[in-house]
Chains A and B, each alone.
Chain A
Amino acid sequence: MIPSFAVVGRTNKGKSSLVATLIENDRIAVAATPRTTTYAQGFTFKINDKPLFTVFDTPGFEEAPAILEWLKSVPVPAHERRARVLEFYRTFHAGEVYRFECELLKPILDGASILYVADASHPYRSNFESEFEILQWTGQPSIALLNQIGEGHYEEEWKRALEQYFRKVLPFNAHTSWARDRIGLLEELKFLSDTMREPLALAIAAMRRQLNNRLRDSALVIADLVQDSLSFEIKLDPDSQWRSEEELSRAFFDGLRALETKCRQHLASIFGFHDLNFDDSTQVPADAEQDLFSKDTWEILGLSRKELLAIGTASGAIAGGTVDAMVGGASFMVGTGIGGLIGSLSSAYLAFSDPEIAGFKLGRKKRTMGPYKNPNFPWVLVDRQITFVNTLLQRTHAQREAIHVSEGNRQGSTSHLRAKDKTRLGVIFQSLRWNVRLRSLNESLASELTRLLLNLLTPKPSSSRQNQSDFRPELS
């Protein structure tokens, strides 16, 4: 039999939220109304179809004082208390009375360890002790988690009370926990009993790998978006519905926005967000903060004009240098010089233009718009997706409100890259624009993006070298 945990507590104290967060499932019903959960539901963690442990979501305690009264109605020595709880279950489990508590106790009486969830945002009351006592009578190993649903802070008084009944008391906010917190919680659960140590250690290692894999998958999805966006163009017959350049321009930028939205939906599903509400991030007016082409976005994200100029020059020089190399140096580096000059001039022109109007070409015979030439475009695009992934990393599966991705006032991730990495990425972007088929282009872009995404897990690179190596992806 595999180890299991029952998440229990008073009704509406965030048990389902905790389970949703722990197992990363946004389809678990979470509501601010009581009795959202009416029966014990198990979720088994599996690696390659091998079950390791189960987490049970249970209904909340509703009549704990009355049940404890029933349990104590007959004097019972300590060694027979579990049997008394079992007797309670057998007496009431088939009927309507105490049905929620019976559902709650069932997995525990089957051997599940206890994860008691308390809401530390309201004061402690002694009537909770009846719940603690009932759980104590089951004799199962237990740990208490302090959730934070409201504004108040009563952690200390709760901790003092819970420590008398539970082996350990840990803070765990189901609505703000990062992946690292969830793994940390499992680390603590390892010590509840010997039987749990090995399966949980395996599960923790698998979860870490999964996190890396998700970031690597995200890198592939973002790379795909960059490739699609840099070659995106729309072609229309002259007699088509878009007659003016303005309309054509709108259709073009809407097409790019649609690509980004599709990419974000894909990223969300990679992180297990299947029912994510995208309203705030997709259906925005063009001047909103979250829009891909809003001026705010372009002022914060991407690279500065100076950097774009430098990278444009470098890309041009590399392209020219390739020509020089092809003729065996007979050109006396003229190619490098001319390439660098063209690169810097074109970057300068495009970088200093308005993002909405610059950088596309309009075909003559057929109305064609795109690809978008603005040198900052791929940088902004990458920064926005990294910000989005960061938002997903910080979002738990218990949250149900629409996702809000805001760049805030922080600069994008790409601006923090080393100059060498910026140049390398700039050359990759330029190669994609020119449709150059470098053999390792795909791998280079994906690994650069993976590196950027992995930095999200290591906010303090200088002090967390150990963590960095823990989360390093297994790049093939």
Chain B
Amino acid sequence: MTQRSKKTRVSPFTMTDLLDFEAQMARDTLADPEVLSTRDRPIAPSPDKARKIETLHTWLLSIRAIAADPWPGSKIQRTYDLMSFIALAFGIISGMGLIEGLLRYDGSEPVNVIPFLAVYALLQIILLLNYVFKTFVYRLFKRLPGGALLYFLREGALRWIESRGSLLSNRDKERPMIKAFARRLSQLHRPLLEKYAWKLVQIFGIACHGASLLTFLCLIFFNDYTFGWRTTLHVEADFLHTVVTILAAPFHWLGGDTAPSFEVIRASQFTRFGKSFMASGSDLGARSTAAWWPFLALVILTYGLIPRFLIWVSLTFSIKHTLSTLLFNDFRSEALWQRLTREQVEWIPGGVLESAPTIQDQTLFNPSLQKTLGDCLVLRWRDFPASDSAIESYLVKNFGLKPIASLKSSGLVREQDALKNMLERHRQLPLVVAADPWELPGEAIEKIRRLVREQGSPTSLILFAPIDSKADALTLAGDRTAWRHALKAFRDPHLGLLEEAR
């Protein structure tokens, strides 16, 4: 997620809010847009297109108030606070331990300032350079073991989030959302996460160097130390003087004995064979053993404590700035924004939607037509255009049925008498209903069926012939699936398609 460059408005989002927002975005990833729209409509704040961030924040507060799922923001924030406390405590212990180790002094040999400078000056300068050029260093060394502590911190944090399913949901089926959450954090807020990781490191650094400095001053005050320098390497005093002068440059303006002079450095060189200083016995040698301590204290302060503190302050402001200038212009946040601000266009059904009818198969057509082959009655249904003779020849040729009486009907009341007469005269004969293929039987046919059962025989067959009369010759309609379904709705075992009775 990028930041706004100019004319920024202060965002109400805290890190906790941001984490909760991303968690909800992850939860919504697979949700039906219609469901999301229904959910968001009643809680959507009044849309103000100029106040996107505020609107999104208000939306988050509303969602947080109604959603039953756990919110990860406060949990992660608490965990981070705990880690900060641990870093602080660990830093204090490390700082005290480190200075105790470096100032180990049994009275026989002086405290060597070389490892002291290596730890509190050289190492700190390397670490500061690593911070300044962190992007470059990170890209260069992230694949190397131990190359970037940051990489492991961030990856570890994301892994931890992924492993903590309960952060986002109480339901197991929603655990995949955790991955989406971790991915969103990684993709959109990597710089912010890195800043939090760096801040944690700085808390450790401040605690470590602060404890080191205090312990150093205490030890200096309560003990009588002798400082000297020695190394296996062939290093001359003037080289060390140059190094010390460079290291003292930031605090040289304080004046006084902030840095040991060349004479002091030369005099405090310790030789291991004679177990004596180069200027042992002289007044300068005695003074030089103590003259190092202001310089060493200022080294801790200048290269350890102050930079850590400044970085910590800058990170704190930078995190605030990042949070206050979030754009929320990733694709899913943009979709949410559109959902909240866009007009709601919808079709609302007046009631519960009807479901498609299920086919009743319990009553199967069972014609047993063998006994009835021969004569039949014909009902020409609703403008069926073929003539009686055409229908007769079609039935004789294809089904061995010979019509002995024929009627035309559209389901009118006035037609019923003629139909009754025909049925009364030929009670046992099957009634063949010749119809256009699109004239699916409905209520009108049901009335005729009842008439047949009342006037004719309860077991006489009613056979439907959906006939295509487009061509010169009559043919059976191509697709009769809808007919089969329609006829099953009558639940009459003696009613069915003519072709099925053959």
Contact = CB atoms under 8 A, between A and B. Distances in A.
B350 A41 contact: yes
Contacts, number: 172
Contact of A227 (B30, B331, B335, B355): B331
A442 B5 CA distance: 15
Interface in A360-383: none
B361 interface: no
Categorize the interface residue count of chain B: 35 or more
A41 B440 contact: no
B443 A127 contact: no
A216 B442 contact: no
A216 B334 CA distance: 10
Categorize the interface residue count of chain A: 35 or more
Given A11-B442, A44-B348, A48-B344, A439 B486 contact: no
Nearest to A35: B357
Contacts of B332: 220, 224
B28 to A, nearest CB: 11
B33 A266 contact: yes
B332, B438, B489: most-surrounded residue (chain A CB, <10 A)? B438
A127 B348 contact: no
Given A38-B354, A49-B344, A43 B437 contact: no
B412 A66 contact: yes
B346 A46 contact: yes
Nearest to A24: B347
A213 B2 CA distance: 24
Given A47-B344, A66-B411, A274-B34, A446 B49 contact: no
Interface in A417-467: 437-443, 446
B470 interface: yes
Interface in A30-78: 30-39, 41-49, 51, 54-55, 60, 62-63, 65-66, 69-70
B443 A45 contact: no
A269 B33 CA distance: 6
A270 interface: yes
Interface stretch (A118-126, A163-171, A302-310): A118-126
16 contacts: A12-B482, A23-B347, A25-B347, A28-B354, A32-B481, A32-B482, A41-B351, A42-B349, A65-B410, A65-B412, A127-B383, A217-B33, A228-B183, A437-B2, A439-B3, A446-B334
Interface of A: 11-12, 23-25, 27-39, 41-49, 51, 54-55, 60, 62-63, 65-66, 69-70, 98, 100, 119, 122-123, 125-127, 130, 150, 152, 206-207, 209-210, 213, 216-217, 220-221, 223-224, 227-228, 231, 262, 266, 269-270, 272, 274, 437-443, 446, 476
Given A221-B331, A269-B32, A442-B334, 18 more contacts: A25-B349, A32-B481, A41-B354, A43-B347, A43-B348, A45-B346, A47-B344, A54-B350, A60-B442, A63-B447, A69-B414, A70-B413, A122-B436, A130-B410, A209-B343, A220-B335, A266-B33, A274-B34
* Pairs of residues from A and B, 5 with the lowest C-beta to C-beta distance, nearest first: A62-B442, A42-B350, A29-B356, A33-B485, A62-B443
